[in-house]
């Protein structure tokens, strides 16, 4: 099995007619994802390489029965697109947009929680989600993933996720689902949401968790792991040498005062029984060792 | 983007938050001119983006022009924790009856806004939080609902601000919240917020961090950007549109993706080296970006080696390889370059570079191997 998305997930792409939307949307379709429509206001009735375009999410959902949406629109319009998706009946929204103001994210997150409690937002500023062999929504290259499990991956970073997928695939170890939760300060989906889903997924036998400096989601995850997680977890946290007070590429990757350091996160996770590794390669090797012993 | 105190105060003023009258000065003569204008006594305050200015001698009271001349002369050029003072803020000295603390920031775990208010201001809030956490009144604010005056009134009561300060403080807090939200701040902090003996409440300091993701709706931030960094490498990188942070080490770093770039810094450190910078060239990097990145790193006299760490996802490694060659042809690079190329089209990328490998351009199969090789050069 996989978490959040599978071979039956029908996806629309908000922003399909744009350069990025077209590129990634069609790549996702070519991977085998059921990309059933696109949404661009004013361009309803046209198509992108055979994928029908609708004027609104509501129309697209009514016509196609889509339940997931891939939001690929510029920062200025992204939060409106997310809310339109929720209002239109979408229940799983993936937003890859980087550069959304934190205040807009905070308002959007809370509106989703209050008005659309059944909706899950992944991102913003994330690479998306891939259940290898079944469904790929986002910008992850399908080639580097390997179907069949047994590893679930959850990560705040894009390239480090690719690195993890690649290392495992090269060693013949597949993945159930790989979720990029993104590097922004207000992520719609957090580590705990993914860990809980992996814990409940019978095909996922072990989890790779990639964190980074900033915030305290890793520490909260550690608390949750201690009480709930029975499957082995390998973790790597980026930013051990990052200077405080600087945003390290991701808007959420910042050490504020003494808060959000990699050291604190690594200690909390180690204390919760997680295998904490010092670099991505070491984490890959550790996971191979664990999977072989399963 | 962190603002200087004077910029923070100017920003506060736009939202109607009371600050002391004052102005900036870059020379001793200007300082005297400003002081004459705002009226004595004045406070001469060093403008640096680092705490502990007072203890370092960067904040002085001046009763007259001679004292302004003396203090401004001492403070301009002063080195405060590695930050050299190029500008001072001169403001009318305030009589202080009480010092409070107020701030708004994002409560990341709970995904709401967090207000902190304390009747014990003037010291670092971390210290208050540690020694006397009950002295801080925390307020969780739903970003959808915001902060209204009635809530702010209850909040100042809860924080036990002195009675004469409460109504003005409540009004000021609503304005500060407006500054924080519509002004797109990551942090809006006043420490100290003061009550004067004649019963007025105003901001004696300003600490503001702006969310750069919101720049598109704040053209007025342009003036802050001009003074954002003193680091010539960062200035150059900014002009070239690169995501660069200058550090103190000797290994220049180019990576794609923020996570991988951070991880590269860590790995260099683990094998005994120090990074000269953080640089994320992002997705789909082409020859232009690569050339700009190499140029910026090459301009850093401390750099002894350049470590290019690429994992291709959407970014195609063969394109990166072409970019490296083009960059080397375009820019004269003085340091050796160590590459690690992996991911999509890595085989093709390595083939492109193979004929060009030399003792100035080297390739290693893994991130760790490449880090070791680079660090060996840096430490030689």
CA B174 → CA A148, B147, B201, B214, B343, distances in Å?
A: 54, 6, 14, 21, 51
Compute the nearest-CA separation of A241 from chain B (Å). 6
| pLDDT tens-digit series, residues A111-149 | 999 999 999 999 999 999 999 999 999 999 898 999 998
Does residue A77 sit in the same domain as residue A199?
Answer: no
**How many domains in chain A?**
2
* Class of residue A71 by CB neighbours under 10 A (exposed 0-12, middle 13-18, buried 19+): buried
B213, B285, B371: best to mutate for the A interface, most A CBs within 10 A = B213
Does residue A147 sit in the same domain as residue A254?
Answer: yes
The Cβ-side half-sphere exposure at A289, using a 13 Å CA radius, reads 10
Chain A residues touching B368 at Cβ < 8 A: 279, 281
| pLDDT tens-digit series, residues B30-45 | 999 999 999 999 999 9
Contact A145, A130 (CB under 8 A): yes
List of domains in chain B? 21-92 (3.30.1490.20), 98-223 (3.30.470.20), 232-379 (3.40.50.261)
Residue B247 to residue A243, Cβ atoms within 8 A: yes
Between chain A and chain B, the number of residue pairs with CB atoms below 8 A apart is: 171
Question: Which runs of E-coded beta strand occur in chain B?
Answer: 22-25, 42-46, 59-62, 79-80, 83-84, 88-92, 98-107, 112-118, 136-141, 185-195, 201-203, 207-210, 243-246, 251-255, 277-280, 305-312, 337-343, 361-363
Question: Is A235 among the domain residues?
Answer: yes
Domain end: A122, A148, A179, which one? A122
For B300-334, b where at least 16 C-beta lie within 10 A, e where not — what string? bebbbbbbbbbbbbbbbbbbbbbbbbebbeebebe
Q: How many other CB atoms are found less than 10 A from the CB of residue B57? A: 13
Q: Tell which residue, A230, A177, A185, has the closest CA to residue A212.
A: A185
Does residue A153 sit in the same domain as residue A284?
Answer: yes
Compute the nearest-CA separation of A28 from chain B (Å). 12
Residue B50 reports pLDDT greater than 80: yes
Does residue A242 sit in the same domain as residue A145?
Answer: yes
Residue A239 reports pLDDT greater than 70: yes
- Write down the pLDDT at residue B330: 86
Does residue A287 sit in the same domain as residue A206?
Answer: yes
- pLDDT, averaged across chain A: 95
Catalytic residue among A24, A103, A250, A275: A250
Question: Is A253 among the domain residues?
Answer: yes
Stretch B350-370: mean pLDDT, rounded?
94
Residue B263 to residue A280, Cβ atoms within 8 A: yes
Does residue A107 sit in the same domain as residue A236?
Answer: no
Q: Which domain, by its residues, includes A206?
A: 140-292
Least confident of A20-34, A198-212, A219-233, A247-261: A247-261
Chain B residues touching A107 at Cβ < 8 A: 143-144
Distance, in Å, from the CA atom of A41 to the CA atom of B308, rounded to the nearest integer, reads 42
Six token digits for residue B295: 């140029």
Domain end: A74, A89, A122, which one? A122
Does residue A281 sit in the same domain as residue A154?
Answer: yes
Contact B296, B279 (CB under 8 A): yes
Compute the nearest-CA separation of B124 from chain A (Å). 11
Contact A114, A137 (CB under 8 A): no
Q: Tell which residue, A157, A165, A178, A161, has the closest CA to residue A249.
A: A157
Distance, in Å, from the CA atom of A246 to the CA atom of A33, rounded to the nearest integer, reads 38
| pLDDT tens-digit series, residues A168-226 | 998 999 999 999 999 999 999 999 999 999 999 999 999 999 999 999 999 999 999 99
Does residue A233 sit in the same domain as residue A147?
Answer: yes
Q: What percent of chain B has pLDDT over 70?
A: 99
Q: Tell which residue, B122, B120, B129, has the closest CA to residue B192.
A: B122
Does residue A76 sit in the same domain as residue A167?
Answer: no
Residue A150 reports pLDDT greater than 70: yes
Question: Is A117 among the domain residues?
Answer: yes
Chain A residues touching B184 at Cβ < 8 A: 101-103
ipTM: 0.92
| pLDDT tens-digit series, residues B120-167 | 998 888 888 889 989 999 999 999 999 999 999 999 999 999 999 999
Question: Is A132 among the domain residues?
Answer: no
Q: Any long-range contacts for A45-53 (C-beta under 8 Å, 24+ apart)?
A: A46/A17, A48/A16, A48/A17, A48/A22, A49/A22, A51/A13, A51/A16, A51/A25, A51/A26, A53/A16, A53/A17
Does residue A220 sit in the same domain as residue A155?
Answer: yes
Q: Tell which residue, A28, A174, A7, has the closest CA to residue A96.
A: A28
| pLDDT tens-digit series, residues B177-198 | 999 999 999 999 999 999 999 9
- Write down the pLDDT at residue B57: 94
Q: Where are the alpha helices (DSSP H) in chain A?
A: 19-31, 57-64, 75-87, 102-115, 158-170, 191-200, 217-228, 262-271, 280-292
- Write down the pLDDT at residue A1: 80
Compute the nearest-CA separation of A65 from chain B (Å). 29
Residue A239 to residue B266, Cβ atoms within 8 A: yes
Does residue A94 sit in the same domain as residue A146?
Answer: no
Question: Which runs of E-coded beta strand occur in B142-218?
Answer: 185-195, 201-203, 207-210
- Write down the pLDDT at residue A81: 98
- pLDDT, averaged across chain B: 93
A162, A183, A252: best to mutate for the B interface, most B CBs within 10 A = A162
Does residue A118 sit in the same domain as residue A144?
Answer: no
Q: What residue in A sits closest to B278 (Cα-Cα)? A: A248
Stretch A151-166: mean pLDDT, rounded?
92
Residue B245 to residue A107, Cβ atoms within 8 A: no
């Amino acid at each position: 099995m996989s978490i959040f998305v599978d071979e039956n997930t029908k996806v629309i792409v908000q922003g399909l007619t744009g350069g990025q939307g077209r590129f990634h949307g069609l790549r996702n379709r070519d991977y085998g994802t059921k990309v059933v429509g696109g949404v661009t206001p004013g361009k309803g009735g046209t198509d992108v390489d055979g994928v029908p375009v609708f004027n609104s999410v509501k129309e697209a959902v009514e016509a196609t029965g889509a339940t997931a949406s891939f939001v690929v629109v510029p920062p200025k319009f992204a939060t409106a697109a997310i809310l339109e998706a929720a209002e239109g009946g979408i229940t799983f929204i993936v937003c890859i947009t980087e550069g959304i103001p934190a205040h807009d994210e905070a308002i959007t997150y809370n509106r989703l929680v209050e008005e659309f409690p059944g909706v899950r937002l992944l991102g913003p500023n994330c690479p998306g989600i891939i259940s290898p062999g079944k469904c790929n929504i986002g910008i992850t290259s399908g080639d580097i993933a390997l179907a069949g499990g047994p590893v679930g991956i959850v990560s705040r970073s894009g390239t480090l996720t690719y690195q993890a997928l690649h290392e495992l695939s090269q060693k013949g170890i597949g993945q159930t689902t790989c979720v990029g939760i993104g590097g922004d300060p207000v992520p719609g989906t957090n580590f705990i949401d993914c860990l809980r889903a992996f814990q409940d997924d019978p095909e996922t036998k072990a989890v790779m968790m990639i964190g980074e400096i900033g915030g305290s989601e890793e520490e909260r995850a550690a608390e949750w792991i201690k009480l709930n997680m029975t499957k082995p977890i390998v973790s790597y946290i980026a930013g051990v040498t990052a200077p405080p007070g600087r945003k390290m590429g991701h808007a959420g990757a910042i050490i504020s005062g003494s808060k959000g350091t990699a050291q604190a996160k690594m200690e909390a996770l180690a204390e919760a029984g997680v295998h904490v590794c010092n670099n991505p390669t070491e984490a890959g090797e550790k996971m191979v060792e664990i999977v072989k012993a399963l | 983007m962190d603002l200087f105190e004077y910029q923070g105060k100017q920003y506060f003023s736009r939202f109607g938050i009371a600050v002391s009258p004052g102005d900036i000065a870059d020379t001793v003569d200007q300082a005297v001119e400003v002081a004459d204008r705002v009226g004595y006594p004045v406070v001469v305050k060093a403008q640096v983006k680092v705490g502990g200015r007072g203890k370092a001698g960067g904040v002085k009271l001046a009763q007259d022009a001679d004292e302004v001349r003396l203090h401004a002369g001492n403070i301009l050029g002063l080195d405060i924790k590695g930050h050299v003072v190029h500008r001072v803020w001169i403001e009318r000295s305030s009589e202080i009856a009480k010092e409070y603390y107020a701030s708004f920031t994002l409560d990341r775990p709970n995904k709401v806004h967090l207000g902190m208010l304390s009747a014990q201001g003037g010291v670092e809030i971390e210290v208050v939080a540690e020694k006397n956490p009950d002295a801080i009144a925390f307020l969780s604010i739903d970003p959808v609902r915001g902060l209204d005056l009635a809530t702010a009134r209850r909040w100042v009561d809860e924080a036990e601000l002195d009675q004469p300060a409460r109504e003005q403080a409540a009004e000021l807090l609503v304005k500060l919240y407006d500054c924080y939200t519509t002004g797109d701040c990551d942090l809006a902090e006043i420490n100290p917020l003061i009550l004067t003996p004649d019963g007025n409440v105003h901001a004696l300091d300003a600490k503001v961090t702006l969310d750069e993701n919101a720049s598109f709706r704040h053209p007025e931030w342009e003036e802050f950007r001009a003074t954002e960094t003193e680091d010539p490498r960062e200035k150059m990188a900014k002009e070239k549109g690169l995501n660069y942070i200058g550090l103190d080490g000797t290994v220049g770093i180019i990576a794609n993706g923020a996570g991988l770039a951070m991880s590269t810094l860590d790995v260099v450190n683990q094998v005994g080296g120090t990074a000269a910078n953080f640089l994320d060239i992002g997705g789909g990097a082409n020859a232009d970006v690569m050339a700009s990145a190499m140029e910026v790193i090459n301009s850093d006299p401390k750099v002894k080696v350049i470590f290019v760490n690429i994992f291709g996802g959407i970014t195609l490694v063969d394109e990166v390889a072409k970019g490296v060659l083009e960059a080397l042809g375009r820019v004269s690079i003085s340091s050796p370059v160590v590459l690690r190329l992996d991911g999509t089209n890595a085989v093709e990328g390595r083939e492109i570079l193979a004929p060009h490998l030399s003792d100035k351009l080297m390739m290693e199969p893994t991130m760790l191997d490449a880090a070791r090789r680079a660090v060996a050069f840096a430490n030689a």
